[in-house]
Each structure stands twice: as C-alpha cells, then as structure tokens.
Structure 1
Amino acid sequence: MTATCDALWRAIDPTRLRHIFMEMLEIYSPTGKEEDVQLYLEDLLTQAGFTVERQIVEEDRYNLRVTIGSTPPRLYLVGHVDTVTAWDLEEFGPREEEGIIYGLGSADMKGGCAAMVEAFLALATLPEEERPPVGLLLVVGEEENGDGSAAFLAGETPPWVVIGEPTSLAACFSHYGYLEAGLITRGRRTHSSLPELGHNAVESMLRVLLLLGRHPLFDRETPELVYSIRELSSSRAGFVVPDRCEAWIDLHLPPETDPAAVRQAMETQVEVAASAVDNLDLEMTFTFDSRGYRLDSDNWLATELAELYPRLGLPLKFDAFRSHSDGNLFFEAGVQPLILGPGSLETAHTSDEQTIFSEVVAAARIYAALCLAAKSAP
C-alpha cells in the first residue's frame, strides 16, 4: 500500500489545487445561494471522469455526491460549500500573501473542500480495480440548519466520514455540543427625556444577561462550557426609551454535557432574574440544540493517521472540535465522524479569514491516503 500511496501523493498537483481553491473563493456561496459553486465543482468532477449525482435539497439547492469502488463506500469525505454572508464583498475577495490564502470561506471550509476534490482527482489516476470504496459528498446548508447533510442521511448512513472543518489538521474524534438561546425583553416606550414614565427593555435585558453570566456554568475561570452573547438589538425608533430588546446566545458544550441540563440551569436562573429585575417581561426560547460526542480514538483511522503524519513531517494532535458542525448530525444518525481540515476557527467568519496553503496541500494528501486505507478497513 505504501507504493500506491506514494503514487497517489505524486498525483496531487499543488498548482491545480491552488487554482481550484482560488476559483471556489471567487464564487460567493452563502447559505441558500450555493448553486454557482456547485455548478463549478460538478463540471470539474465530471470532466475528470466521475459520475456526479445531484442530491436535491430544495429548488436550486443540491448536494453533489460521487462514489468510487465496487462496493458501498466505507468512508465519505464530506465538505460544506456554503459560507456565512459577506456584509462587504470587497473585503472578502480572495488573495494570497506569502503562502497564506485569504477570503470568505478559506478556512470554513472551502480549503477543506478543495483538498477533498484534489484527493479525488488523484484517486481518478488509479486503475478501476485499485480504487477504494469511498465517496465524496459536497453539501449545502451547514452554516444554517444542516439541511444538506440531513438530506444525505435520510438515504444513506456510511460507517465513517471525514469532515474537513478547520482544525489546523488536528484529528478531532470528539465534538462539542451546541445550544442556541433567544431572549426577548419587553418594556414601555416613552420619549427618552422622560425615562421614568417608561420601562427600558434594554436595561432589563442587560440585568438578565448579567444574572445569567453569574451562574457557575458560565464561569469564565473554568471555561469548559463556552458562553457567548452573539447579538443584542433593540427597537430602532429614535429618541425613545426602547420597548423591546432581543439577544441571541451561543453555547458550545463539552462532549459529555447534556443540552437539556444547560437549558434547565438557564431557566432556573431566569426565574431568579424575574424576582431581581423590576417589572420584568421576558421570553426565552431554545431554537436549536445538538449533543456532543466522544469517539474511542482506538480505531483504524487513528491508526492510519499515526503512520501518515510522520511521513508528511507533521505532528499528530488529537483534540475536540469546539464549534458546531454537521458532525453532530452524522453522529446522531449512527455514523462515526472524524473532523480534520486545514485552517483554524480563530479567523473563520471574520474579515481576516485565512488558511496556510501548505496545510491545504497536506490535507489533500491525508484525505487521499485515508481513502486508500478504507479499502482494507475493518
């Protein structure tokens, strides 16, 4: 297998990979508007000789699925082609400086997608009888509700997937859970020069958030549970005491933490707020939750990685993926996910999003080798 792997690595073309990566970054593909980038990738894969299946999610939105080998895939490479919305497109255009590629989605996760596509282009150079039973799945909708992966899982649950989220090439067999909470406070609007006649919804919200933050669960001195106030907004009428305030909170939960326990703790703390904040009118809803997981790292993928990384001159680090991803959906469906990709979460979703190109090349080699190993996987 070493000889075949070496041949695969020689088939990986960094120049072609850079071109694919930059072309993907040139195509604006926020959630809901992924068709242009899917058309580009579909044409690329079709020209390479693959049969590309469109997996319909909704009108003008579809996953792309490619399989090779003579038996059902033992492993899928999974990447999401959608990005968050760019509020200023000029600042999100792709560029390369000293081996670092910048642009919307460069880390999350067009770098991983490009590496997966390049790995499959390398696999296409193998004779038919030597091709492993693997698949490539390029999904839509991850940045919102995971509807692309959900559509795939409605019809197929492979044993393993590798998801190319940004981990700086760390191997994540563990994954945080996620809970999203929305809070609304209501008050009474008056002219801003007469606040004593109204009830300020923003002040109520701030007091509630301070009380929530004092709960032991959210102690930043022991930041196992990640608590982040993502958004705070109020009624936009001018020069008045605001009568409505809305807040959104992201909670990233350690793998063993039950989202239901966190919800209960927040509800209890809100009851405390009701007695501590005068005339509080508060509504709290939980719009999304997903439990984390921790896989046993004594598995064939971990064994392969332990052999691959020294050959590539890379340090192998095992970690827990701290953000939300489609990995949670795959795990809930009975699939075992490994999260591993180029780039890091530190710059994802920011105007400075970036990925070191050498990591993208290394990722392509890792993905190709893992696909090859799937042929003899237990």
Structure 2
Amino acid sequence: MAEQKLKINPRRLQQLLRKMVNIYSPPGKEKDIVDFIYNYLKRHGLPVVRQAVDEDRHNLIVEPDDVEAELVLVGHLDTVEAYDLESYEFSLDGDTAAGLGTADMKGGCAAMIEAFLTLWENGHTNRPVALALVVGEEDYGDGAQRLVREYDFSAAIVGEPTDLLPCLSHYGYLEIQLTTQGQRVHASLAPQANNAATAMLRLLLAYIQYFDQELVDGVYNLRDLTSARSGFAAPDNCEAWIDLHLPALTHMGQLTFQLEELHTTYLKANAQCDAAIHFNSIHAGYELPQKGPLVDLLKTVYDRHHLSFSPTSFPSHSDANTLWAAGIKPILLGPGRLEKAHTAEESISLSQVKIAAQIYMDLILDYAKEGHPDPP
C-alpha cells in the first residue's frame, strides 16, 4: 500500500501550473516551456534528459535510477493557438484556474511533475515508472512518435482531461482531405464554368448525408474549408478538411474503403466534378479489459481517495493512439474536462489538479511494490 503520510505540495503545484500556463507554447514554439521545465526538474534533482524531436524541439524524459521503466506517465506541453494573445494567461477565481492549456493539458503535466518531485524528495527514485513530457500533440504528434521510436514501455498513463475518469478505451480518428479543381473565369461568367467552390459544397453534402446516416455513434467536424483567393473570379481550386472521431472498435480499413466507394460513385454520377479524397491521418481506437494488475491497482488508489472507479471511453484523438500503435497499452486519466479544452474560456478545477497529482504519486508508489504488474 502507498504510504499515507506522503503528500504532494499543493502550493508548489499551483505555482508551477501558473508559470506553465503563462508560457505560450503552441506546436513548433515549445522551446520556452521545454527549457523552463528542464531547468525546473534539474533544479529539484530529477535526472531529466532531452530527447530531440527535430532541430529545435525536444521531449523531456525522466527515468528511475537503477531499474528499467515499464510504465510511463505521458503529458504534452504544447497547446492550441491562443484564441486571444492578449488574454491567454493564468488567472484564478476561487478554485477555478483559467488560461490557455489549463485543461489540455498543462494541468495534467503539472500534476505529473509534482508527483515525481514529491517521490524524488522522499527517496523513492527506483520505481519502474518514467515521466515523458512531449511536444507536438496538437499538430501531428511528432513528439509521441519520437518517444515510441526510442523507448519501449509496456503501459502508459496519459494525462489528457478526462475529469479524473479512467479511460480504458479510446476512439479512433480519421482525418480526410478533399480537393476540387475547376476553371478560373470572370465572376460574371461563373455559371459557364466549373466553379471549384460550388463543386466542393455539393460534394460535402454527399459526405455529410453519409455521415448522418452511417456514423450514428461517431462525430464529424468540417474543420477547414478554403478556396483560391481569386478576387472577382470563380475559384479554380477548393480544399476541405474533415475530422472523424469514431468509437473504439470501428474497423478503420472498412470505413476508408466505404468512403472511397462513395467518392467513386459520386464522381460517376457527376462527371463534371474533378475531385480527390486523401486520408491524411488514420489512428485506430482500442479497448482494454476492465481488469488486470494495473487496472486493479488504479481501483485501489481510487478507493483510497473515495473516488468512484467508472471507466469510460476517450472520445477524441490523442498521443495514446500513437502509443497503442507502438504496442504500449495506455490508460487516459487526467484532471479537467474535455469540453473546456480548445475554447476561449478554458479552465480547470485547481483542487482536481491536486487530486490528480496525489493519484499519480500513489500509483507510482504502489506500482511494482510486490513485483512489476503486467500491463493492463
């Protein structure tokens, strides 16, 4: 059992979260926060190393002293672009901490860091558990891709905002790029030409009708729709990007085949349409059993904190998809609510961040105390 007297430092955790949120760190611009966290961990005596992702960007890895890590706690240090660069910084109103990245997922990262700091300060440096703080999750996930190429873990806890509900299953994700080509002509002659934007709108209606009828348990999002900036003329090209989030056990190969068939059928019925479909990202979902040594350990920790252990499914895509594809079994578990992420009013419960830190620390303390548990 975990040592009940060992507690995280709530004040230090709050100060860390404030400093992290106040460092702007969208994908590609993570250097300042990586440097800050690297120096912070070094100053507190943790054996942190930089893992190069590209020339100027790095993941941060903390591994135990004398044992090989089997479990890794994973968080991403980047955020989406600021909705307003004048008002993205940290603010506190009672228990509510607001600011860019508080929920997704600097709250989770701060909690993981505090858990490791508390353990190291108290001499618990040899648990087979590592910490990985990665970059690029909000873009192409290149940080997680680099992590799994160079490290081999059995299981992971990913600190995405799950409202502290353990997610043993994860949605799949499909990113679709549609393009249409047309003829650039004077706007007054547009009816006489193939307008790429008009062609795209008609094509999108066919896809939306299919999604509404066939993907009743999935979620589609028309993320971007752009055409050539042609001035007073019909545009000669148009592009659309669609996100599909799909239940964990969706057969991604079968779905892509069906969408290609839909596309072919549409083009046969609309010979004047010059359009292409491309699947830019395909991430399979997964489902873990609600039993096993690590899951049982989590249940014990939840009981200790008088929390209901109610597993659910994570409905977005995340670095956990990349970990799963690499043979690592991830459980998502973090403070914050997903519906607060990527919004102008992003916020998190500070008390929940503190509970998360304590859960992470107790989990690491209990992990492998009587021998390393098998992956979930």
Specify the TM-score bucket, using the shorter chain as the normaliser: over 0.9
> SS of 1:174's equivalent?
strand
Distance 1:321 1:28 in 2: 26
Change beyond 3 A, Cα 1:170–1:223: farther
Shift of 1:243: 2.1
Alpha-carbon distance between aligned partners in 1 of 2:216 and 2:316, rounded to the nearest angstrom: 14
In 2, the alpha carbon distance for the partners of 1:125 and 1:186 equals: 62
CA displacement 1:13-48 (0-9 Å, x = unmatched): 111111101100010111111111011111111111
* Alignment map for 1:264-303 (pairs within 5 Å): 264-277=257-270, 279-303=272-296
Which residue identity lines up with residue 213 of structure 2 in the other structure? Answer: D
Give unmatched runs, 5+ long, in structure 2.
none
Q: In the alignment, what sits opposite 1:32?
A: 28
Over the residues paired in the alignment, what is the CA RMSD in angstroms? Answer: 1.7
Alignment counterpart, residue 7 of structure 1, candidates 2, 5, 8? 5
Determine the structure 2 residue equivalent to 1:327. Answer: 320
The structure-2 alpha-carbon separation of the partners of 1:20 and 1:170, relative to structure 1 and needing over 3 Å to count, comes to same
Aligned position for 1:139: 134
Residues 218-367 of structure 1 mapped to structure 2, 5 A cutoff: 218-219=212-213, 223-277=216-270, 279-367=272-360
Deviations 1:312-332 (A, max 9, x none): 233322111111111111111
Of 175, 181, 190, which aligns to 2:185?
A: 190
- The structural deviation recorded for 1:166 is 0.9
Q: TM-score, normalised by structure 2?
A: 0.94
What amino acid is aligned across from residue 90 of structure 1 in structure 2?
E
Structure 2 matches for 1:80-229, cutoff 5 A?
80-128=76-124, 131-215=126-210, 217-219=211-213, 223-229=216-222
Distance 1:363 1:311 in 2: 13
- Does 2:67 correspond to 1:53? no
Contact 1:207 1:277 in 2 (8 A): no
Q: Percent identity?
A: 42
Q: Structure 1: how far apart are the matches of 2:253 and 2:218? A: 14
**SS, match of residue 150 in structure 2:** coil
SS at match of 1:193: helix
| Aligned residues of 2:23 and 2:32 also touching (Cα < 8 A) | yes
- Aligned-residue offset at 1:294: 0.8
SS of the residue corresponding to residue 367 of structure 2 reads helix
Query: Is the contact made by 2:83 and 2:344 (CA closer than 8 Å) also made in structure 1?
Result: no
Instruction: Give, in whole Å, the separation in 2 of the partners of 1:279 and 1:76.
Output: 53
For the residues of structure 1 that align with 2:337 and 2:233, how far apart are their CA atoms? 43
CA change 1:126–1:375 in 2 (3 A) is farther
SS at match of 1:230: strand
Tell me how far apart the structure 2 counterparts of residues 152 and 257 of structure 1 sit (CA, whole Å): 26
Query: Contact 1:65–1:138 at 8 Å: present in 2 too?
Result: yes
Q: Which amino acid aligns with 1:243?
A: D
Tell me the distance in 1 between the aligned counterparts of 2:89 and 2:189.
47
Instruction: Tell me if the contact between 1:218 and 1:226 (Cα under 8 Å) persists in the aligned partners.
Output: no
Q: Is the 8 A contact 1:140 1:147 kept in 2?
A: yes
Separation in structure 2 between the aligned mates of residue 344 and residue 176 of structure 1, nearest angstrom: 16
User: 2-side partners of 1:81 and 1:260: how far apart?
Assistant: 32
Asked whether the equivalents of residues 67 and 126 of structure 2 are also in contact (C-alpha less than 8 Å), the reply is: no
Q: Which amino acid aligns with 1:177?
A: G
CA-CA distance at 1:131 after TM superposition: 4.2
Distance between the aligned counterparts of 1:192 and 1:46, measured in 2?
A: 62
State the alpha-carbon separation in 2 of the partners of residues 218 and 326 from structure 1: 28
Distance (Å, rounded) in 2 between the aligned partners of 1:123 and 1:219: 52
> TM-score if structure 1 supplies the norm length?
0.93
Q: Which amino acid aligns with 2:292?
A: N
Aligned residue pairs, count: 371
CA offsets per residue over residues 60-86 of structure 1, 9 Å max, x none?
211111112531112111111011222
1:75 partnered with 2:71: yes
- Structure-1 separation of matches of 2:196 and 2:115: 54
The alpha carbon displacement at 1:191 in A equals 2.6
Q: Distance in 1 between matches of 2:198 and 2:188?
A: 16
Within 5 Å, give how 1:360-375 maps onto structure 2.
360-375=353-368
